[in-house]
Amino acid sequence: MSVTAPRGFRAAGVTAGLKPSGRPDLALVVNDGPEHVAAGVFTSNRVVAAPVLWSRAAVGDGVAHAVVLNSGGANACTGPEGFADAHRTAEHVAAALAVSAGDVLVCSTGLIGERLDLPALLAGVDAAAAALAPDGGPAAATAIMTTDTVPKEVLVERGAWRVGGMAKGAGMLAPGLATMLCVLTTDAVVTAEDADAALRAATAVTFDRVDSDGCMSTNDTVVLLASGASGARVGAAELTEALTEACAALARALVADAEGASHDIAVTVRGATSEAAAVAVARAVTRSNLFKAAVFGNDPNWGRVLSAVGTVPVDVAPFDADAVDVAINGVLVCRAGGVGEDRALVDLAVAREVRVDVDLHAGDAAATVWTNDLTHDYVHENSAYST
Amino acid sequence: MSVTAPRGFRAAGVTAGLKPSGRPDLALVVNDGPEHVAAGVFTSNRVVAAPVLWSRAAVGDGVAHAVVLNSGGANACTGPEGFADAHRTAEHVAAALAVSAGDVLVCSTGLIGERLDLPALLAGVDAAAAALAPDGGPAAATAIMTTDTVPKEVLVERGAWRVGGMAKGAGMLAPGLATMLCVLTTDAVVTAEDADAALRAATAVTFDRVDSDGCMSTNDTVVLLASGASGARVGAAELTEALTEACAALARALVADAEGASHDIAVTVRGATSEAAAVAVARAVTRSNLFKAAVFGNDPNWGRVLSAVGTVPVDVAPFDADAVDVAINGVLVCRAGGVGEDRALVDLAVAREVRVDVDLHAGDAAATVWTNDLTHDYVHENSAYST
């Protein structure tokens, strides 16, 4: 149930002193091989943190030996000095592990616009390298938490081989990617090409479909390390399936732990002319502050769903507004763009999970996007906490 | 300072009983001529309320004698029956004024997805028709309020002629249009063509640049009535200028009264390659819940500005992320994509208005978009109040 569950990996999580709270803030994940295949996907924000610039380049050759991750500072908007800090971090890890700096990936999360305390971070790297253990996954998962209330880990078993994973992320969750750091490991024998294709396919339908607050981060990173230690050769399709299962579980865990949320909301759009159209309509609903505030108040306000659906341009999603059905938790509150069942039949207070089903009656495609309700606690956490 | 300030207009505001609170909820504005030129702009939402469908068609010929407006119900997502209700309302007003129903515009605001209490509304029309007065503007402005805490009125003087106006809107404020009802009146002599062009030009740079909560309504309507009673012939350019001044004042009043807001935020983007690019970047910032929550906490969190700026696609707004400057209330907290002046120099607690200036250093175009902070009270009002 962690990044060290597959064979060939060690990990550690330590306290470097980057967080004022004194909680663990530095994680190291090492691939002991025999293979060192790696792939990564990164934020599509044009403002990217220094560690993203570094790691995007470093993973370009499909090889990595280790990932170092810190919470307590994003190293974003820190200029050339921030990039030098990321580089020095990689060099330091490389020296400790006797590998090349170009094979060390770096991830950071925390406040934007401040330099990292590099001496503290490098001392933390030394402590983490000394603490590396085949059962160190849970400690690593704990060290990457920021406003997360629980560590997020996953294990997908495939008989001869496994996929393990850990993720952090509780706010600034938006598509491309949902903002977060995630490390996936596998002991399958895979090619770098297959690893890259499978990781992109898996994240596109999982992390990319979580939109907690519509805010895209500068630091999003999902990394896959493959050790080949199981000896089991796996193709792209098989790997994609396992990675998708792992990413879906982690994405669901991110939603469940989103800052201040009291409801998780799954918006499923059916009857669209294309999957892209379904995603666009679902995203319009997941971005509606009015609807999300209504869900917080346990108000099945389908008018706010419909008015969000109506903002999607016709060239993006062709449909007839007078044909749209909306069901909330299975009750068809809006039929053909008008009043349906009594909204009083919907009880949102009964469960954390809310299901919104929109049928456009325009085609056969469907997609689901996850979000959270908009709560007092979201406002509180994001006005009081500088991230 | 109201829709009855220009010559040739009468208005009234009465209590029809549509609002549970018992406050005024029905307004009538009548153009007594000698001319009856009219223009209208409406929501770009594909889900449009019945009164929008009616009024869009009715104003198509550039002529209108009256506008009837109700709060206490949006008459949206009410199907063919809702359209029949809007039609009957227009017929009833027309009979009371001895004009054609096709020359009566209808506007509604309130809860989506419920039929109006038509007998109450029609009795209210009779009461309003009986109460029409040349100084009835303020009563009309009060009757269209929903969660507004103050009526919004404007008067623009141009010597021989005037523009008066009233607006309502406090939530669901987003572009195309900022969600609201607005009636503008003028005693200028104008052609229908000029009225239409001037109204579109004026709203495009005012109401369309208010984005309080990113949520676009189903009922947005801005109507212009021109009586010609001043005898002063006015061209498109002159009219556009006066309407822009009136709309800007009303748009600013909407922002100042936005649901639960404690700060008004003017996001100005300069150095863009085009005005459209500047607007796109400004909108990305005004839509960031994280930044808006930070402003509520009086935290000048420029990292959240920059990460929002970075979400705009490069084909929409070409710029170099490493060149972007951000000033908050005049303090250059971010210089060239990195740390600038000390953020502690920015005191957001001192005033309601917050100025965010983004310089892309990519061109000469600029634009400003207004929004509000994201507060506990916004969440409260929109979870407790079904609109």
- Environment class of B22 (CB within 10 Å of its CB; exposed 0-12, middle 13-18, buried 19+): exposed
Using H for helix, E for strand and C for coil, what is the string for A106-146? EEEECCCCCCCCHHHHHHHHHHHHHHCECCCHHHHHHHCCC
Contact (Cβ atoms closer than 8 angstroms) between residue B44 and residue B54:
no
Among the partner-chain residues A77, A289, A375, the one whose CB lies closest to the CB of B338 is A77
Phi and psi for A19 in degrees, rounded to 5? -95, 130
**Cis-peptide, bond into residue B34, ω within 30° of zero:** yes
B327 bridge partner residues: B357
Contact (Cβ atoms closer than 8 angstroms) between residue A356 and residue A265:
yes
Residue list, annotated binding site of A for substrate: 146, 168, 179, 259, 382, 387
The two three-digit tokens of residue B344, written as one number: 């502690």
Instruction: Say yes or no for a CB contact (<8 Å) between B48 and A384.
Output: no
Q: Using the 8-state DSSP alphabet, how is residue A94 labeled?
A: H
Confidence of residue B289 (pLDDT cuts 50, 70, 90): confident
Average pLDDT over chain B reads 91
Q: For position B214, what pLDDT does the model report? A: 66
- With beta carbons under 8 A apart, name residues in chain A contacting B299: 383, 386
**Of A238-242, A373-377, B302-306, B366-370, which gets the smallest average pLDDT?**
A373-377
Confidence of residue B384 (pLDDT cuts 50, 70, 90): low
Mean pLDDT over residues B317-342, rounded?
A: 94
Q: For position A61, what pLDDT does the model report? A: 96
B369 bridge partner residues: B267
What percent of chain B clears pLDDT 90, i.e. is strictly above it? Answer: 70
For A132, residues 6+ apart whose C-beta sits below 8 A from its C-beta are A10, A11, A12, A28, A30
Q: For position B111, what pLDDT does the model report? A: 82
Among the partner-chain residues A215, A294, A339, the one whose CB lies closest to the CB of B78 is A339
Q: Give how far Cα B44 sits from Cα of A311, B137, B216, B244, Å.
A: 7, 28, 8, 20
Mean pLDDT over residues B41-63, rounded?
A: 92
Distance CA A17, CA A123 (A): 9
Residue whose structure tokens are 């209590």:
B15
**Cis-peptide, bond into residue A34, ω within 30° of zero:** yes
Distance CA B129, CA B381 (A): 34
- Give the tens place of pLDDT for each residue, A306-362: 989 988 989 999 999 999 999 999 999 999 998 999 989 999 998 999 999 999 999
* Cβ atoms within 10 Å, residue B186: 36
Instruction: Say yes or no for a CB contact (<8 Å) between B217 and A112.
Output: no
For B119, residues 6+ apart whose C-beta sits below 8 A from its C-beta are none
Average pLDDT over chain A reads 91
Determine the residue among A42, A43, A45, A46 to mutate to test chain B binding: the one whose Cβ has the most chain B Cβ atoms within 10 Å: A46
Mean pLDDT over residues B159-175, rounded?
A: 77
- Give the tens place of pLDDT for each residue, A167-224: 988 654 443 434 578 999 999 999 999 999 999 999 988 888 887 666 677 888 899 9
Q: Is A337 left (phi over 0), alpha (psi -120 to 50) or beta?
A: left
What percent of chain A clears pLDDT 70, i.e. is strictly above it? Answer: 95
Residue B91: helix, strand or coil by DSSP? helix
Contact (Cβ atoms closer than 8 angstroms) between residue A99 and residue A65:
yes
What percent of chain A clears pLDDT 90, i.e. is strictly above it? Answer: 69
According to DSSP, the β-strands at A264-272 and A221-226 are unpaired
Q: Give how far Cα B169 sits from Cα of A227, B174, B211, Å.
A: 59, 11, 12
- With beta carbons under 8 A apart, name residues in chain A contacting B379: 293, 296, 374-376, 378-379
Q: What's CA A219's distance to the chain center, in Å?
A: 11
Q: Using the 8-state DSSP alphabet, how is residue B149 labeled?
A: S
Among the partner-chain residues B79, B312, B334, the one whose CB lies closest to the CB of A338 is B79
Distance CA B49, CA B52 (A): 5
Residues constituting chain B: 387
* Cβ atoms within 10 Å, residue A111: 17
Contact (Cβ atoms closer than 8 angstroms) between residue B52 and residue B218:
yes
Instruction: Say yes or no for a CB contact (<8 Å) between A294 and B379.
Output: no
| Minimal C-alpha gap between B104 and chain A (Å) | 25
Distance CA A383, CA B9 (A): 47
Closest CA to B354 of B293, B275, B300: B300
Q: For position A179, what pLDDT does the model report? A: 55
Among the partner-chain residues B45, B299, B311, the one whose CB lies closest to the CB of A307 is B45
Which helix (H) or strand (E) covers residue A96, if one does?
helix A79-97
Q: For position A387, what pLDDT does the model report? A: 39
- Give the tens place of pLDDT for each residue, B64-122: 999 999 999 999 889 899 999 999 999 999 999 999 999 999 999 988 888 999 999 99
- Give the tens place of pLDDT for each residue, B119-162: 999 999 999 999 999 999 999 999 999 878 899 999 999 999 99
Amino acid, single-letter form, for residue A136 = G
Q: Give the torsion through C-alpha atoms of A114, B307, B317, B358, to 10 deg.
A: -60
Residue B174: helix, strand or coil by DSSP? coil
Known catalytic residues of B are: 179
- Give the tens place of pLDDT for each residue, B226-263: 999 999 999 999 999 999 999 999 988 888 888 788 99
Q: For position B184, what pLDDT does the model report? A: 95
Phi and psi for B12 in degrees, rounded to 5? -155, 155
- DSSP of A216-245, one letter per residue? --S--EEEEEE--TT--B--HHHHHHHHHH
Q: For position A384, what pLDDT does the model report? A: 63
Q: In what order do the strands lie in the sheet with A26-31?
A: A9-14, A26-31, A66-70, A104-108
Distance CA B225, CA B199 (A): 10
For A46, residues 6+ apart whose C-beta sits below 8 A from its C-beta are B309, B310, B311, B312, B314, B321
Known catalytic residues of A are: 179
Contact (Cβ atoms closer than 8 angstroms) between residue B27 and residue B68:
yes
Distance CA B121, CA B107 (A): 12
Instruction: Say yes or no for a CB contact (<8 Å) between B334 and A114.
Output: no
| Minimal C-alpha gap between B21 and chain A (Å) | 20
**Of A53-57, B62-66, B350-354, which gets the smallest average pLDDT?**
B350-354
- Give the tens place of pLDDT for each residue, A68-125: 999 999 998 898 999 999 999 999 999 999 999 999 999 999 888 889 999 999 999 9
The two three-digit tokens of residue A148, written as one number: 């997360």
According to DSSP, the β-strands at A338-339 and A264-272 are unpaired
- With beta carbons under 8 A apart, name residues in chain A contacting B335: none
Residue whose structure tokens are 């969000």:
A308
Q: For position A217, what pLDDT does the model report? A: 76
Instruction: Note the ipTM here.
Output: 0.79
Instruction: Say yes or no for a CB contact (<8 Å) between A172 and B378.
Output: no
B186 bridge partner residues: B163, B226
Domains of chain B: 9-256 (3.60.70.12), 264-384 (3.10.20.340)
Distance CA B301, CA B341 (A): 12
| Minimal C-alpha gap between B320 and chain A (Å) | 9
Residue B252: helix, strand or coil by DSSP? helix
Closest CA to A69 of A135, A149, A155, A3: A3
Q: For position B316, what pLDDT does the model report? A: 93
Q: For position A214, what pLDDT does the model report? A: 65
Amino acid, single-letter form, for residue B202 = A
Instruction: Kindly tell me if the per-residue pLDDT of A382 is higher than 90.
Output: no
Instruction: Kindly tell me if the per-residue pLDDT of B387 is higher than 50.
Output: no
Instruction: Say yes or no for a CB contact (<8 Å) between B303 and A77.
Output: yes
Instruction: Say yes or no for a CB contact (<8 Å) between B311 and A45.
Output: yes
Instruction: Kindly tell me if the per-residue pLDDT of B174 is higher than 60.
Output: no
Q: Give how far Cα B224 sits from Cα of B164, B235, B244, Å.
A: 10, 15, 12
- Environment class of A273 (CB within 10 Å of its CB; exposed 0-12, middle 13-18, buried 19+): middle
Q: For position B110, what pLDDT does the model report? A: 85
The two three-digit tokens of residue A83, written as one number: 């990039």
What percent of chain B clears pLDDT 70, i.e. is strictly above it? Answer: 95
